[in-house]
């Protein structure tokens, strides 16, 4: 091992790399046979920290092999598995780790197994001839579904899971946990290391990733070197104020263009794909250079479009890229010098991840320019900066008992040579996701694959598993294998329509709901281009370039990012602190963002109240009944939507009424149609955790929420076949098929294992029951402050403005808000909302 260590250190020295302390700790831990998590800020060198241990171990084994034949035997099968959540990240990782492997282990082959893999890579991965394999969770599950995997993974020594925090809280992470359980069975001595940059619950993340080891052999290794974090907010010029509502921030376009053009290469992050399209269109309209130096990147663009943009960022050819979370993760762009964020990124972890895309080099300070879209974005920037400097990140909660993923895994094991149910049960229970699974639930999962359910037993297409008579389960028929392997994975499509030029390339995909509203001849903005819809044919939107600016910009379902409770609580604390600053010295001590907020906070205090830490502000706004209620938990839009639903239901139970509500990141508005007296309401009962689940289910058509979840669950579990390439079956047909199955099972087999999962996910993921319960527990400990205002306050105005989105008018939402806000400003004597446009 001493020679191996010397060789590794010599290679680092030849590259001008000096090993950091946390990297040396990681290499030592790997040499001891430990597993664990390496946590370090973006750009600190986590890749080398994870790679060095396995490489030195391989060098030591090659040194001790003794003869060429033995060395050749040691090279058979996979030795290092590098799991990554994104195909783009996989390609980038290959670029980074190929050089040390080529120089130190020249006999080794490095292969990529993702959707972008070449024919050579596929051949190496399928034959097991690559020693280091870079792979996504879905491709790993596919490899493990073959019987040849028993031999290919038997010599596996190390598994590295990159961006573990990204996989931990979703079903892709559950699928990976099951695959890791399988790998531990095939290679009992395998070491597993996770890489994570920003996560608040490291110990739990470690416990989920590393299993069946004593705690002393599980390590959390952190890079504790200070890495300065700078977030500079772009403030409006003196005498101008940011609006109280809005989400685009295009008033800042001249300042953003100036910053971008003064920098070699920049990324401008937005929170939604629609916002990215609009900002790109706006920037393009004033771009002084060749249009090819400006680009857009988001998840709905076609793979080859995204790859061209990523390569342009690496090479420095692109001056600016407008992007969404598609560029959040650890892809290296050393040429990028500046990152800008439009609006708050809603979480500390996401902010730091995005800021780390610039100057992605060890030891370099992390910098970001914040582009506020409305006044309270400034407070969010200040709160996020404080939390990031203290390294206080959000936790990522793992999922458990996802029986759709388990069903998929069981079928993969059947295809991989069949399985003994007792042995596989022990293997599955070794994962954190299924450690609490009962024997009855396991038997239900097996029964589902054998016959679907009692009500589906007469239909042979639902028979996928059978007992071979010797106590092992194998595929029911030859056709099962092909159908199953085509559906492996947990990423479910949601009615996406391909967009393609009449004569040319495919640009990406758009939601069916958006394209259905267009007629041939309509123009829309997509992929940074103005396009004209020519026709819809064979499930594809055929388009041509348009010389005019598009009239419409697509919106994608589920694109809103919830604000974390950590950020919301710090925002409330900062607002209270700024409002209490009475002396000149105290004002000077405030951050620039909070100083800019002082006139707004003065008006808020004049009309209502600025809530202190430990207070819950409830405003009653209006000159005459029925007055609207505004409540400010500072818990994020997603939680506020659930809370508004709950409060409206409980209030309606107290007296007959009809409520409308809107939500934003700091609070919620309830508009009763019949007057109610907020001062006499039983607020402890309204905010109680008691009967929370029952009240939420009563508030909505819970059966439809469960049906929605079941459609995804059925596809992951293989009950409804995924749409095959070239298939004419539409997404709508697949949804109808899943809906019919839901009705049949709901009537004849209401306790079916997938139905139970659908109901649980509807509560937890659609109605956010766990988070809402935590919020109610926190609110019950706060002091309630009731404030009455005849006119809207700075806090209430944004919520009120949101309520106009659903009304019929020939004014745009922004025009209506601007007109009403200016009227509100005149009523306030010129203090409050003011815009430069």
pLDDT tens per residue across span 235-282: 987 777 788 887 788 888 999 999 999 999 999 999 989 899 999 999
Provide the token pair at 602: 């003065």
* pLDDT of 48 higher than 90: yes
> How high is the pLDDT of residue 548?
86
- Across the chain, what does the average pLDDT equal? 88
Stretch 338-361: mean pLDDT: 88
* pLDDT of 331 higher than 90: no
| CA 192/CA 54 separation, integer angstroms | 11
> How high is the pLDDT of residue 726?
45
Q: Kindly state the percentage of the chain with pLDDT values over 90.
A: 62
Per-residue b or e along 675-685, where b marks 16 or more CB atoms closer than 10 Å to that residue's CB = ebebeebebee
Structure letter (DSSP) for residue 787: E
Residues 6+ apart with CB under 8 A from 545: 501, 529, 530, 531, 532
Provide the token pair at 18: 């000096």
> How high is the pLDDT of residue 73?
52
Of 331-345, 642-656, 764-778, least confident by mean pLDDT is 331-345
Report the DSSP beta bridge partners of residue 161: 83, 194
| CA 259/CA 277 separation, integer angstroms | 19
> How high is the pLDDT of residue 728?
46
Band of residue 503 on the pLDDT scale cut at 50, 70, 90: confident
Report the DSSP beta bridge partners of residue 536: 541
* pLDDT of 71 higher than 70: no
In this structure, are residues 567 and 348 in contact, taking their beta carbons and an 8 Å threshold? yes
> How high is the pLDDT of residue 833?
36
Identify the residue with better confidence: 570 or 554. Answer: 570
* pLDDT of 811 higher than 50: no
CB-hemisphere CA count at 13 Å for 764? 14
For 663, phi and psi rounded to 5 degrees? -140, 150
Band of residue 67 on the pLDDT scale cut at 50, 70, 90: very low
| CA 740/CA 720 separation, integer angstroms | 11
Instruction: Give the H or E element holding residue 166.
Output: helix 164-167
Of 329-343, 533-547, 567-581, least confident by mean pLDDT is 329-343
Band of residue 832 on the pLDDT scale cut at 50, 70, 90: very low
> How high is the pLDDT of residue 819?
55
Instruction: Return the C-alpha torsion angle 352, 766, 396, 135, nearest 10.
Output: -90
Query: Is cis: bond before 626, omega within 30 of 0?
Result: yes
Query: For 91-150, what is each residue's pLDDT tens digit?
Result: 778 888 999 999 999 999 999 988 767 888 888 888 888 999 999 999 999 999 999 999
Band of residue 801 on the pLDDT scale cut at 50, 70, 90: confident
Residue bearing tokens 């031999």: 151
CATH 3.40.50.300-classified regions of the chain: 2-222
Stretch 169-191: mean pLDDT: 97
Query: For 558-582, what is each residue's pLDDT tens digit?
Result: 556 778 989 999 999 999 999 999 8
In this structure, are residues 245 and 802 in contact, taking their beta carbons and an 8 Å threshold? yes
Question: How far apart, in Å, are the Cα atoms of 240 and each of 631, 688, 749?
Answer: 28, 43, 63
Neighbours of 785 (CB within 10 A): 16
> Residue 465: helix, strand or coil by DSSP?
strand
> How high is the pLDDT of residue 837?
29
CB-hemisphere CA count at 13 Å for 406? 27
| CA 717/CA 719 separation, integer angstroms | 6
Residues 6+ apart with CB under 8 A from 24: none
| CA 158/CA 168 separation, integer angstroms | 19
Instruction: Tell me the pairing of strands 229-234 and 366-371.
Output: parallel
In this structure, are residues 471 and 515 in contact, taking their beta carbons and an 8 Å threshold? no
Stretch 616-627: mean pLDDT: 92
In this structure, are residues 796 and 631 in contact, taking their beta carbons and an 8 Å threshold? no
Residues 2-222: name the CATH superfamily.
Answer: P-loop containing nucleotide triphosphate hydrolases (3.40.50.300)
What radius of gyration, in Å, describes the C-alpha atoms of the chain? 28
In this structure, are residues 560 and 637 in contact, taking their beta carbons and an 8 Å threshold? yes
Residues 6+ apart with CB under 8 A from 513: 495, 557
* pLDDT of 660 higher than 50: yes
Query: For 30-46, what is each residue's pLDDT tens digit?
Result: 999 999 999 988 778 89
Query: For 484-500, what is each residue's pLDDT tens digit?
Result: 998 899 887 666 789 99
Query: For 436-491, what is each residue's pLDDT tens digit?
Result: 999 999 999 999 999 988 888 888 888 999 999 899 999 999 889 988 998 899 88
């Amino acid at each position: 091992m001493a020679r191996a260590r010397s060789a590794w250190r010599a290679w680092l020295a030849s590259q001008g790399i000096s090993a950091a302390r946390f990297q040396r700790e990681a290499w030592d831990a790997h040499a001891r046979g430990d597993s664990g998590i390496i946590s370090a800020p973006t750009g600190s060198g986590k890749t080398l920290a994870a790679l060095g241990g396995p490489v030195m171990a391989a060098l030591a084994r090659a040194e001790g092999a003794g003869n060429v034949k033995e060395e050749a035997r040691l090279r058979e099968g996979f030795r290092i598995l590098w799991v990554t959540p994104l195909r783009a990240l996989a390609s980038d990782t290959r670029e980074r780790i190929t050089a040390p492997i080529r120089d130190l282990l020249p006999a080794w082959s490095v292969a990529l197994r993702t959707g972008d893999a070449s024919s050579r890579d596929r051949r190496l991965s399928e034959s097991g001839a690559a020693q280091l394999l870079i792979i996504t969770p879905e491709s790993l599950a596919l490899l493990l579904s073959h019987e040849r995997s028993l031999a290919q993974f038997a010599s596996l020594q190390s598994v590295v899971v990159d961006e573990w925090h990204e996989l931990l809280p979703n079903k892709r992470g559950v699928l990976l946990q099951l695959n890791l359980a399988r790998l531990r069975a095939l290679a009992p001595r395998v070491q597993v290391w996770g890489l994570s940059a920003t996560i608040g619950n490291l110990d739990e993340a470690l416990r989920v990733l590393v299993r069946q080891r004593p705690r002393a052999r599980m390590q959390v290794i952190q890079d504790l070197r200070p890495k300065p974090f700078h977030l500079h907010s772009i403030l409006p010029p003196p005498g101008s104020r940011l609006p109280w509502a809005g989400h685009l921030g295009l008033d800042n376009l001249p300042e953003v263009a100036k910053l971008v053009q003064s920098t070699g290469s920049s990324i401008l992050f937005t929170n939604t794909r629609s916002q990215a399209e609009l900002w790109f269109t706006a920037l393009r309209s004033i771009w002084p250079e060749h249009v090819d130096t400006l680009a857009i990147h988001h998840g709905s663009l076609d793979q080859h479009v995204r790859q061209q943009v990523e390569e342009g960022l690496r090479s420095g050819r692109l001056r600016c890229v407008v992007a969404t979370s598609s560029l959040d993760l650890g892809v290296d762009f050393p040429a990028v010098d500046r990152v800008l964020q439009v609006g708050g990124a809603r979480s500390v972890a996401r902010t730091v991840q995005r800021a780390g895309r610039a100057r992605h080099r060890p030891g370099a300070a992390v910098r970001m320019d914040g582009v506020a879209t409305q006044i309270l974005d400034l407070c969010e920037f200040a709160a996020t900066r404080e939390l990031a400097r203290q390294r206080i990140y959000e936790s990522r909660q793992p999922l458990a008992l996802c029986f759709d993923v388990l069903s998929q895994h069981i079928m993969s094991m059947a295809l991989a040579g069949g399985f003994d149910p007792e042995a596989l049960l022990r293997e599955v229970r070794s994962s954190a996701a299924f450690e609490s699974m009962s024997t009855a639930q396991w038997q239900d999962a097996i029964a589902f694959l054998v016959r679907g359910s009692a009500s589906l037993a007469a239909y042979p297409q639902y028979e996928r598993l059978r007992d071979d008579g010797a106590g092992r389960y194998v595929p029911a028929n030859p056709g099962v294998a092909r159908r199953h392997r085509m559906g492996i994975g947990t990423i479910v499509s949601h009615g996406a329509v391909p967009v393609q030029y009449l004569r040319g390339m495919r640009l990406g995909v758009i939601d069916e709901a958006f394209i259905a509203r267009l007629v041939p001849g309509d123009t829309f903005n997509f992929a940074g281009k103005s396009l004209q819809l020519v026709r819809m044919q064979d499930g594809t939107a055929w388009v041509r370039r348009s010389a005019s600016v598009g009239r419409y910009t697509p919106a994608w379902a589920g694109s809103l990012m919830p604000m974390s409770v950590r950020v919301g609580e710090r925002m409330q604390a900062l607002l209270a602190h700024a409002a209490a600053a009475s002396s000149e010295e105290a004002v000077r001590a405030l951050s620039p963002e909070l100083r800019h907020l002082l006139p707004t906070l003065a008006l808020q205090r004049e009309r209502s109240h600025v809530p202190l830490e430990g207070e819950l502000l409830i405003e009653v706004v209006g000159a005459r009944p029925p007055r609207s209620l505004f409540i400010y938990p500072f818990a994020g839009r997603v939680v506020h939507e659930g809370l508004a639903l709950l409060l409206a239901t409980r209030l309606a139970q107290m007296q007959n009424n009809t409520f409308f509500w809107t939500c934003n990141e700091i609070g919620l508005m309830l508009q009763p149609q019949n007057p109610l007296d907020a001062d006499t309401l039983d607020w402890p009962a309204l905010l109680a955790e008691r009967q929370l689940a029952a009240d939420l289910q009563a508030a909505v058509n819970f059966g439809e929420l469960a049906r929605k979840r079941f459609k995804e669950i059925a596809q992951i579990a293989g009950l409804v076949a995924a749409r095959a390439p070239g298939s004419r079956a539409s997404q709508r047909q697949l949804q109808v098929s899943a809906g019919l199955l839901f009705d049949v099972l709901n009537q004849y087999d209401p306790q079916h294992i997938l139905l139970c999962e659908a109901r649980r996910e509807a509560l937890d993921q659609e109605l956010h029951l766990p988070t809402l319960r935590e919020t109610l527990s926190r609110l019950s400990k706060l002091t309630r402050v009731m404030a009455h205002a005849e006119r809207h306050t700075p806090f209430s105005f944004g919520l009120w403005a949101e309520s106009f989105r659903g009304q019929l008018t020939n004014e745009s939402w922004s025009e209506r808000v601007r007109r009403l806000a200016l009227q509100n400003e005149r009523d306030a004597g010129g203090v409050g909302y003011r815009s430069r446009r």
